[in-house]
């Protein structure tokens, strides 16, 4: 884009931002007052719904609704609506005792009947809340809920911690755009593709938020940066590629995450097979385990983090680095010479001098796609591809649409990202039954009876310790596993830091290790935010 066009684009962007804030008073001025009780937040992802049964808040605190239990800072569980809970010896029956001082914002009391209604509604919706393992849920009285599972399920509390309770008496087709809850904030207004306005719930049973008004605006990272420069927002989601741009009156918040980026590597050869949707399966380069291992060991993850992302990332070795169920043995050291030896020992050699090794007439070259416009994924993919040239592997990086990626991901590499506060994600990523489905979890086609057994044992464990041990064995049991030193269906590269420009004086409290996606995670402790100077 030439200079004149770029200036025009920035002016149009500024005009659009000013129009959004025209009805919001003067957030820039009021935010500078240490006694303010409001905040304006810019994030890139707008929710599709505010209905927890359809996925709102899944994996995070839903803000408008309360949950039975919730995550503490260290990812342990603590009570919310529940005052306590027990699990039967056979692992099938969970009994929750509820507090009796929780009310919805319309004044109606929250009872066990609302919990039963919520769980049944979420199960029947078959959205992002997976309750397929729930056989039934009952309310013997107003403060007791009994959940019966079809089999022991160790991740049940993780699901409970992200399912906000909705009011049975006020739930209907429009609930997702006009919700009533019992959480720390109450809904005020939602202008689609523009802003969401919340207010503190003054009748909340817990600590009432210091922020009495919250305005959440939805805009791209570039537009958010322009809003920061204009002083129109108090905190804005950004990216590592923009984080070094200084803005007077603001500081950069760098929050650690388990939000990973890495190559998916198809594990099957190209034999003309297709998915149920008709998309090609297999890649004749990445199906070779020595190629996958060579890629894993050749990458200098620290260099990718520092060069491609200006240091706003850390080396990544699994889908759940830093989580208590992660196996520390999955970590590997960069060893370029070892990577070269792996290829040479398997018969890969540069016979024509073009810098790319080949074997049986097949060059070690494959495509890697990423979603266009994602500067972080592009930077990581390009940096990794450049490093892999040293061992004779060529990666052709291409930006495209998610729709196109969904068709090509079974036969090409994808610069993919995951990361959750729930080990169930590992089950979805690696169970054999999930291979080659259209849900992005296992497009590389990883299948292992050994891993399936560990995953099943982890899911059905009756104690946290037993579950964690099996999650770790699924990654690496000393001989095989999902880890890069094992079957290596993924080559993990970096965990990206979540970056936000925050106005000086805004205290966003202690942040948990963020999961995938930087929009909702920053809001999960919104009730703790305050202005300090």
Mean pLDDT is lowest, of 123-132, 299-308, 391-400, for 123-132
The answer to whether residue 271 scores a pLDDT higher than 60 is yes
* Cα–Cα distance measured from residue 379 to residue 322, given in angstroms and rounded to the nearest whole number: 24
The answer to whether residue 210 scores a pLDDT higher than 90 is yes
* Cα–Cα distance measured from residue 308 to residue 240, given in angstroms and rounded to the nearest whole number: 9
* Cα–Cα distance measured from residue 439 to residue 159, given in angstroms and rounded to the nearest whole number: 19
The answer to whether residue 11 scores a pLDDT higher than 70 is no
- Kindly report the pTM of this predicted structure: 0.86
The answer to whether residue 18 scores a pLDDT higher than 70 is no
Band of pLDDT at residue 28, cut at 50, 70 and 90: very low
Q: Is 408 exposed, middle or buried (0-12, 13-18, 19+ CB in 10 A)?
A: middle
Cα 366 → chain centroid: 27
Give tens-digit pLDDT for 426-458. Answer: 999 999 999 999 889 999 999 999 999 999 999
Bridge-based pairing of strands 235-238 and 38-43 is parallel
Bridge-based pairing of strands 213-218 and 358-359 is unpaired
- Give residue 513's pLDDT: 85
Let me know: does 12 contact 226? Beta carbons within 8 Å. Answer: no
The 3-state secondary structure of 377-403, one letter per residue: HHHHHHHHHHHHHHHCCEEEEEEECHH
In the numeric block, the tokens 């919700």 are attached to 179
Q: What does the angle CA 169 – CA 170 – CA 173 come to, to the nearest 5 degrees?
A: 125
Give tens-digit pLDDT for 483-511. Answer: 999 999 999 999 999 999 999 999 999 98
Q: What average pLDDT score do residues 170-182 get?
A: 96
What does the block give as tokens for 237? 């989601």
Bridge-based pairing of strands 144-149 and 93-98 is antiparallel
Mean pLDDT is lowest, of 44-53, 98-107, 401-410, 471-480, for 44-53
The answer to whether residue 58 scores a pLDDT higher than 90 is no
Mark residue 282 as left, alpha or beta (left: phi above 0; alpha: psi -120 to 50; beta: remaining). Answer: left
Residue 466 parent element (H or E): helix 464-475
Q: What average pLDDT score do residues 120-146 get?
A: 95
Give tens-digit pLDDT for 141-173. Answer: 999 999 999 999 999 999 999 899 999 999 999
- Give residue 143's pLDDT: 98
What does the block give as tokens for 432? 């054999």
* Cα–Cα distance measured from residue 273 to residue 276, given in angstroms and rounded to the nearest whole number: 10
The single-letter DSSP state of residue 304 is: I
- Give residue 59's pLDDT: 64
% of the chain beyond a pLDDT of 90: 82
Residue 263 pairs with which residues in a beta bridge?
415, 491
| Whole-number average pLDDT of the chain | 91
* Cα–Cα distance measured from residue 262 to residue 369, given in angstroms and rounded to the nearest whole number: 11
**Domains of the chain: residue spans and CATH:** 1-46+192-257+497-533 (3.40.190.10), 49-183 (3.40.190.10), 260-496 (3.10.105.10)
Q: Which residues contact 131 (CB under 8 A, 6 or more apart)?
A: 119, 122, 123, 159
Bridge-based pairing of strands 362-363 and 498-503 is unpaired
The answer to whether residue 365 scores a pLDDT higher than 90 is yes
In the numeric block, the tokens 């009533």 are attached to 180
Q: What is the DSSP string of 255-278?
A: E-B--EEEEE---S--SS-B-TTS
Q: What average pLDDT score do residues 234-241 get?
A: 92
Give tens-digit pLDDT for 34-52. Answer: 458 999 999 999 999 999 9
Q: At what angle do helices 289-298 and 336-345 cross, to 10 degrees?
A: 170
The answer to whether residue 20 scores a pLDDT higher than 70 is no
Give tens-digit pLDDT for 75-92. Answer: 788 999 999 999 999 999
The answer to whether residue 17 scores a pLDDT higher than 60 is no
SS3 state at 502: strand
User: Of 69, 531, 172, whose CA–CA distance to 61 is shortest?
Assistant: 69
């Amino acid at each position: 884009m030439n200079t004149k066009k770029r200036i025009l684009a920035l002016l149009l962007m500024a005009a659009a931002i000013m129009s959004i804030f025209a009805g919001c008073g003067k957030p820039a001025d009021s935010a500078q007052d240490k006694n303010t009780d409001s905040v304006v937040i810019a994030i890139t992802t707008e929710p599709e719904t505010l209905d927890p049964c359809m996925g709102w808040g899944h994996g995070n605190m839903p803000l408008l609704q309360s949950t039975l239990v919730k995550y503490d800072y260290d990812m342990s569980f603590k009570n919310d609506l529940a005052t306590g809970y027990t699990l039967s010896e056979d692992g099938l029956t969970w009994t929750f005792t509820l507090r009796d001082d929780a009310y919805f914002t319309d004044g109606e009391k929250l009872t066990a009947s609302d919990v039963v209604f919520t769980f049944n509604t979420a199960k029947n919706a078959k959205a992002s809340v997976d309750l397929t393992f729930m056989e039934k849920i009952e309310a013997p009285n107003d403060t007791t809920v009994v959940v019966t599972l079809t089999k022991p399920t160790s991740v049940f509390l993780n699901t409970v911690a992200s399912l906000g309770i909705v009011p049975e008496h006020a739930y209907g087709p429009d609930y997702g755009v006009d919700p009533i809850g019992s959480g720390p904030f109450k809904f005020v207004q939602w202008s689609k593709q523009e802003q969401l306005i919340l207010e503190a719930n003054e009748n909340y049973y817990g600590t009432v938020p210091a922020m009495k008004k919250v305005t959440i605006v939805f805009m791209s990272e570039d537009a958010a940066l322009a809003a920061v420069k204009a002083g129109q927002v108090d905190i804005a989601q950004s990216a590592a590629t923009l984080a070094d741009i200084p803005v007077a009156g603001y500081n950069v918040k760098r929050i650690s995450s388990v939000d990973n980026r890495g190559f998916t590597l198809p594990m099957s050869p190209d034999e003309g097979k297709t998915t149920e949707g008709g998309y090609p399966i297999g890649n004749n380069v990445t199906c070779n385990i020595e190629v996958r291992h060579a890629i894993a060991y050749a990458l200098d993850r620290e260099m990718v983090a520092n060069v491609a992302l200006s240091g706003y990332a850390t080396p990544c070795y699994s889908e759940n680095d830093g989580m208590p169920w992660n196996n520390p043995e999955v970590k590997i050291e960069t060893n370029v010479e070892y990577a070269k030896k792996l290829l040479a020992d398997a018969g890969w050699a540069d016979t024509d001098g073009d810098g790319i090794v080949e074997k049986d007439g097949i060059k070690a070259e494959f495509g890697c796609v990423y979603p266009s416009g994602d500067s972080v994924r592009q930077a990581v993919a390009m940096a990794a591809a450049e490093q892999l040239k040293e061992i004779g592997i060529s990666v052709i990086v291409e930006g495209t649409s998610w729709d196109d990626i969904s068709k090509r991901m079974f036969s090409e590499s994808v610069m993919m990202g995951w990361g959750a506060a729930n080990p169930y994600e590992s089950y979805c990523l690696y169970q054999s039954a999930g291979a080659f489905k259209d849900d992005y979890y296992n497009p590389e086609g990883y299948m292992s009876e050994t891993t399936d057994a560990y995953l099943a044992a982890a899911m059905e464990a009756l104690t946290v310790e037993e579950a964690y041990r099996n999650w770790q064995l699924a990654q690496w049991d000393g001989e095989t596993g999902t880890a890069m030193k094992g079957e290596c269906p993924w080559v993990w590269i970096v965990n990206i830091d979540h970056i936000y420009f925050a106005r000086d004086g805004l205290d966003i409290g202690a942040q948990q290790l963020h999961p995938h996606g930087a929009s909702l995670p920053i809001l999960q402790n919104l009730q703790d935010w305050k202005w300090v100077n």
